[in-house]
Amino acid sequence: MAVPIRTAVAALCAGLAASLLGGGPARAGQDTGSAAHVWTVSAPGPGAAAQAPRARVSLDGTTGTLDLSVSRGGRTVIEPSPVGIRTERADLSQGLRFLHRTDRLVDERYRTKSGKRLDRRSWMNETRLSFGTAAGARFDLVVRAAADGVAYRYVLPGGYGDVLGETSAFTLPADARAWLSAYRADNEGQFAEYSAGSAPTGSYSDQALFATDGGYTLLAESGLSGAYSGARLAHDQGSGTYRVTLADDRIHSTGGPLATPWRAMVTGSLATVTRSTFTDDLAPASRVADTSWIRPGTVLWTWLAGGRAAGQSLTAQQAYVYYAAARHWPYEAVDAGWYFRSDQWDTTDPDWQTDSWLPQLTAYARAKGVGIVVWIHQRDLDTPEERAQWLPTLERWGVKGVKIDFMNSESQSMLQWYDAILKETAEHHLMVDFHGSTIPKGIQRTWPQVMTMEGVGGEEKRTNTSAHLTTLPFTRNVLGSMDFTPGGFQRVGQRPNSDAAEAGLAVTYESGLQMLAGSPESYDARPLARDFLAQLPAAWDDTRLLAGAPGREAVLARRGGDRWFLGGVYAGPARTAGVPLSLGAGRWLVETIRDGAGGLVQDRRVVRGGDTLGVDVVAGGGFAGIACRWHPGVTTCHR
């Protein structure tokens, strides 16, 4: 019997629509109910397809399971990796059927207060794939692709109960090089190099870097809040798969819709990964309307110069304020010892605040043009009542920022505490430095008063290695400001690097509040380093990687105004390092500080943009430098 033309055309149109929605035709010999579907998502922009990452999502028509892979320039970055989530009332990891697809362009411009550069653009394609089960459960898989990364998240309607876990994972070629940090609640582990398959069985931080023939890929997370819990990676030796596990066995639901954090893959050349702001670009927009009170800058922090013995008294702290003012450093940090715990105070006494000498210090510092940042233990801010005591009081005293320590958890309950403290510090105009903390996961875009976070094996660690120092610019510091606290010159024999490298770390490592961990005496003994640190801008306009190999060398250039600041750190033997001066055409005056036989030495030379700058570095050493445009009459880049 002949099929009417109108019916045949309708069938053809339906088939074409199904093919377009599914990203490809059904497999031969199967009906559309059991066929595999494939969808691809690429970065926007002409010519982006050549080197930008491309995500590929596949639905197995037999098992109803999803996987996601990533390629770049036709080469594998992430192999097909499972995708899915399980809740109390629905298993959304298998038995799935495709429902529909929607696409949109994300194009957002925003400005930050600190970071690799202040002006940002979040420009990415987004595809939302909706799936359902035979029992009627449904969810959306949202995939985004940008020039420097791919990310996905799950969006669930309300009424599905608590989240019990994800089947999310990342599968790498087993021979891919890997730089991993064993998981610690404070995120202060060292990074070590393995292959993806040879890494020992265990849990690792989700800031994991891999190198394949498709380039470098840094795994990350963004958009984390108290609606969920933090992620880490679980790995079995011999496998290239790293499974996402959560801090909580059960994530409590509010009963409403849920959008999980982004599972992000920052990918590209090493320079692209290092310069990327992808995890910030994914995060929600700023929730602070007026940011005029948020001011980054250099901080004098003397705790590593002797702890309480460094002078936890008004007289000692006034001396430090005086020193900071002389260097034009805008802040001085007061660590433990300045206050009694709030549960020891009689807050019914109207004079309870006088138990601290801090108000006198802030008044003295204000007259000198210096702001005060204070350390405080999280246990003294963990209830609404304690925060209502502390935060308004600190604001009234004129304190500019709080350094909150010892959260040591990414559980949902602790993340809910973060949600509360972030809102309240913004209300009381207090900048924040989190220690013993999670790592930045888009938090600095959403809450720009977060100037920096620890979450790193920093200067205070006596077991750090040169290899660890040269890996951090490509792992932890990619994700946001890092309070490594460089400048601890007095710690001779307790750090693996040289004095010139120590000066350069203030540039190599970005931090909105760059806390310099030395003593005034140690700076005065090294006037070249002291004067270099006094030149540091409050924030950076741009960042470039000049040379790098994780675990071996890292040389970064950061621009402040019309000057570029250089910082280099190296592992291994002494050498003459070659640094491509990729700062722009024309002539540049470059001033470098290196290690000499009798201490620090400064060199000046005029070179052309694109030339290779030769710098002598000692074993485990490095350098610091400033580059400015040269023309006749210019003899120094210092101001």
What's the pLDDT tens digit per position in 364-382? 999 999 999 999 999 999 9
pLDDT at residue 339, as a whole number: 78
Report which of 364, 424, 426, 362 is spatially closest to residue 396, judged by C-alpha positions.
362
Q: Is 32 exposed, middle or buried (0-12, 13-18, 19+ CB in 10 A)?
A: middle
- Tell me: pLDDT of 22 over 90: no
Active site residue 31: no
Residue 155 DSSP label: E
Mean of the per-residue pLDDT values of the chain? 92
Segment 92-129, tens digit of pLDDT: 999 999 999 999 999 999 999 999 999 999 999 999 99
- How far is the C-alpha of 219 from the C-alpha of 336, rounded, in Å? 35
Specify the pLDDT at position 35. Answer: 57
Least confident of 23-32, 409-418, 580-589: 23-32
Q: State mean pLDDT over 531-541.
A: 97
Answer yes or no: is pLDDT of 15 > 50. Answer: no
CA 249 distance to own-chain centroid:
25
Confidence band of 13 (pLDDT split at 50, 70, 90): very low
Over residues 76-95, the pLDDT tens digits come to 999 999 999 999 999 999 99
Flag whether pLDDT at 389 surpasses 60.
yes
> What is the spatial distance between Cα 126 and Cα 41, in angstroms, rounded to a whole number?
7
Where residue 347 falls among pLDDT bands split at 50, 70, 90? low
Whether 281 is catalytic is no
| Confidence category of residue 50, pLDDT binned at 50, 70, 90 | confident
CB 555 within 8 A of CB 524: no
The whole-angstrom separation of Cα 55 and Cα 80 is 10
Output the pLDDT for position 590.
98
What confidence tier does 17 reach under pLDDT thresholds 50, 70, 90?
very low
Give domain 297-538's CATH architecture.
Answer: Alpha-Beta Barrel (3.20)
Contacts of 287 (CB under 8 A, 6+ apart): 423, 426, 446, 447
Mean pLDDT, rounded, for 214-227: 97
Is the pLDDT higher at 66 or at 11? 66
Reduce the DSSP state of residue 608 to 3 states and report it: strand
Mean pLDDT value across residues 399-407:
98
Catalytic residue among 280, 332, 405, 510: 405
Share of the chain above pLDDT 70, in %: 91
Boundaries of every domain in the chain: 297-538
* List 380, 460, 603, 611, catalytic entry: 460
> How confident is the model at residue 520, as a pLDDT?
95
Interacting residues of 236 by C-beta distance below 8 A, sequence separation 6+: 201
CB neighbours of residue 486 within 10 Å: 29
Q: Which two tokens stand for residue 17?
A: 């629509």
Band of residue 338 on the pLDDT scale cut at 50, 70, 90: confident
3-state secondary structure 1-38: CCCCHHHHHHHHHHHHHHHHHHCCCCCCCCCCCCCCEE
State the Cα–Cα distance between residues 603 and 428, nearest whole angstrom. Answer: 46
Identify the bridge partners of residue 268 per DSSP, sorted by sequence position.
Answer: 216
